[in-house]
Amino acid sequence: MDVAKGIEETTLMTLSEQIKEEIPQADVAVLSGPSHAEEVGRKLPTTCVIGATTRKTAEYLQSVFMSKVFRVYTSPDILGIELGGSLKNVIALAAGIADGLGYGDNTKAALITRGIAEIARLGVKMGGKLETFTGLTGIGDLIVTCASVHSRNRRAGYLMGQGKTMQEAMDEVQMVVEGVYSAKAARKLAEKYEVSMPIVEQINEVLFENKSAAQAVDELMLRESKSEHSVLPWPDETV
């Protein structure tokens, strides 16, 4: 059972893929979702998803973890679950930066919704299922990581928005800030699969290319105008 979240920067493998490579015979499952340990430890109602390659494994683990304070769903989409759990940390850095710059709820809502659009575009291109990214391990995990006081990634982003360097922010948080490492992997995956991920791109430039956070926001806002959903037809243009 893999409960960690991340993508290996050089191989671009998920953690379950790395486990499978090291232990080919392993029946790997993953547990993910909006579940800060601080609240789970206090027995506050929490809901997660177990991903596995077989229904039998998923339902067995579901029965082990289910309780009146910890509800578990099952899914066969291990890849989608892991991508959602890893990439949300990058968007949470952006949300924290926006908070640190003094922006409001409108800005954060935009980052969350456009962020999940980027995650879903990449995830579906890689073989994940769209339903996963609209569920607990996608938008659910993204919301809690972008908004919670427990979020290390949001906290690090906030400090950078306040003017601290990436290293200063990481030192102050004093715990692993996964989004910093996942940002590089996300950028490489976007290039590999030819997927547009402008928030991910701007975060990388802030983290590793000395771009100011305010400039990154300006460039996101001034991107080429477009439709929110390019696949939706206009009634006056349908034949």
Specify the CATH number for 15-78; select among 3.40.50.2030, 3.40.50.720, 3.40.50.10070, 3.30.470.10: 3.40.50.720
Domain-by-domain residue ranges, the chain?
A: 15-78, 79-221
Q: Is 223 exposed, middle or buried, given 0-12, 13-18 or 19+ CB atoms closer than 10 A?
A: exposed
Task: Give per-residue pLDDT as tens, 162-212.
Answer: 999 999 999 999 999 999 999 999 999 999 999 999 999 999 999 999 999
In this predicted structure, what is the pLDDT of residue 184? 96
Rounded Cα distance between 94 and 87, Å, is: 12
Burial class (CB in 10 A: 0-12, 13-18, 19+), 185: buried
CB 95 within 8 Å of CB 111: yes
Evaluate whether 163 touches 125 at the Cβ level (below 8 Å). Answer: no
- Asked: is 79-221 a CATH 2.40.10.330 domain? The reply is no
The pLDDT assigned to 16 comes to 93
**How far is residue 42's CA from residue 123's CA, in Å, rounded to a whole number?**
33
- In a structure prediction context, what are the per-residue pLDDT tens digits for the chain, which is 239 residues long? 899 888 998 999 999 999 999 999 888 999 999 999 999 999 999 999 999 999 999 999 999 999 999 999 999 999 999 999 999 999 999 999 999 999 999 999 999 999 999 999 999 999 999 999 999 999 999 999 999 999 999 999 999 999 999 999 999 999 999 999 999 999 999 999 999 999 999 999 999 999 999 999 999 999 999 999 888 888 998 76
Q: Do the Cβ atoms of 29 and 50 come closer than 8 Å?
A: yes
Distance CA 108, CA 193 (A): 27
Q: What is the pLDDT of residues 35-51, one digit of tens each?
A: 999 999 999 999 999 99
The pTM score is 0.94
Closest alpha carbon to 38 in 175, 132, 208, 183: 175
Q: Pull the structure tokens for residue 97.
A: 């930066």
Q: Which residues pair with 70 in a beta bridge?
A: 46
> What is the pLDDT, as a whole number, of residue 4?
87
The confidence score (pLDDT) of residue 162 equals 95
Q: Known catalytic residues?
A: 88
Q: Which amino acid is at 219?
A: E
Structure tokens at 219: 């460039």
